[in-house]
Amino acid sequence: MSRAEQPQIDTSIAHPARIYDYLLGGKDNFPADRAAAERVLATVPKAREMARANRAFLQRTVRFLAGEAGIRQFLDIGTGIPTQGNVHEVARQVAPDARVVYVDNDRVVHAHANALLAGDQTIAVLADLRAPDAILGDPQVRQLIDFDRPVALLLVAILHFIRDEEDPPEIVARFHAAMAPGSYLVISHATGDFDPVAAAAAAQAYDKAAAPMVLRSHPEVERLFDGFALVDPGLVQVSHWRPDPGDAASHQQVWAYGGIGRKATPPTRPPAPLAMRAARAASAVQWHLARHLPREPATTSGAAGTCWQKPA
Ligand SMILES: C[S@@+](CC[C@H](N)C(=O)[O-])C[C@H]1O[C@@H](n2cnc3c(N)ncnc32)[C@H](O)[C@@H]1O
């Protein structure tokens, strides 16, 4: 594609990535993004702290995955504009061989990710979460991620930009089907559960942005983990998910839920009912006896292998 044919970045429309960048104190945003972010701040003055708490949640989950969970490959969809403590940096503090694929549908994010994040065992891909099969089949993604081995899928602060009619549970299910047992899913998601009126007013700031913000309740977010078992402490406010010792933010009210789910390893063979197991054991004994008992009446000579038998 020639330069002239490349779609241009429309900076007159606010974009979730750049609104978030502004809330985090970044510089990669435009007047439309700043205006939308200021509308959020007008109704939720703590929005900056909430954005930081979400980012800290992402970093704690990556530390857990690379450490305790032993994950070595990460698929981070909805990367955001690079800032401090990006996924591959956090993962490699624990596991230097960690591989990371960054996926985002925003060209600004993609350009920055390509310039700042891509490198040895790390790539940036321009793609849309709403087309999961395209991501799963992307040759670049496949080159770095082996879906036959456990992988961590990070959907952090992205699913609330997917409308109900775009079917977020089905999108997650597509990934679930492709992921090996022992894989993990991380989600954080905005909610109106704590202050429905203020949260809805803040979400309205996204109505004219590139994607709307859809607030979801605890049960609705939990449903996105279908097929995954939530690890401790379950689905909680992001600030309450395994906070670091002495973390002041752990007391903070953050209007976003976060959690990690693990795709179970299937049992190698389904456990047989008790009666069936008893019958199987009995027939194994019969087979063993038939095979090892001498056919002729045994002598009582005391020779090895015969002295067990009753004398005639
Ligand atoms: C709020 S930022 C979150 C960044 C990072 N995950 C974090 O939590 O710090 C949301 C990101 O999702 C991206 N995004 C939104 N909708 C998307 C979609 N349908 N496909 C891919 N990326 C999307 C935005 O461009 C943005 O970079």
- Residue 78 CB–ligand 1 contact under 6 Å: yes
Q: Record the pTM.
A: 0.85
| pLDDT in single tens digits along all 312 residues of the chain | 444 444 567 889 999 999 999 999 999 999 999 999 999 999 999 999 999 999 999 999 999 999 999 999 999 999 999 988 999 999 999 999 999 999 999 999 999 998 888 888 999 999 999 999 999 999 999 999 999 999 999 999 999 999 999 999 999 999 999 999 999 999 999 999 999 999 999 999 999 899 999 999 999 999 999 999 999 999 999 999 999 988 877 778 899 999 999 999 877 766 666 666 666 666 665 655 555 555 444 333 333 332 233 333
Amino acid symbol at 295: R
| DSSP strand pairing (228-230 vs 184-190) | unpaired
Ligand 1 in reach of 214 Cβ (< 6 A): no
Q: Give the Cα separation of 97 and 72 in Å (integer).
A: 7
Q: Is 192 in the pocket of ligand 1 (CB under 6 A)?
A: no
Q: Is 158 in the pocket of ligand 1 (CB under 6 A)?
A: yes
Ligand 1 mean position, distance from CA 65 (Å): 20
**Cα of 273 from ligand 1 centre, angstroms:** 48
Helix (H, G, I), strand (E, B) or coil at 234: coil
Q: Is 55 in the pocket of ligand 1 (CB under 6 A)?
A: yes
Atom of ligand 1 nearest to the CA of 24: 9
Mutation probe of ligand 1 site: the residue of 23, 158, 260 with most atoms within 8 A of C-beta:
158
Is the four-CA dihedral 34, 39, 40, 45 of positive or negative sign? positive
Residue 258 CA to residue 298 CA, distance in Å, equals: 72
Kindly give, in sequence order, each residue whose CB lies less than 8 Å from that of residue 300, ignoring residues fewer than 6 positions away: 306, 307, 309, 311
Residue type, 206: Y
Q: Counting atoms of ligand 1 from 1, which one is nearest the CA of 54?
A: 8
Alpha helix segments (H runs only) across the chain: 16-23, 31-43, 47-66, 87-94, 107-116, 132-137, 139-144, 168-178, 196-203, 218-223, 274-292
Partners of 102 in the beta sheet?
Answer: 76, 124
Task: Tell me the domains of the chain and their CATH numbers.
Answer: 16-263 (3.40.50.150), 274-309 (no CATH)
What distance in angstroms lies between residue 77's CA and the mean position of ligand 1's atoms?
7
| Separation of alpha carbons 50 and 34, rounded Å | 17
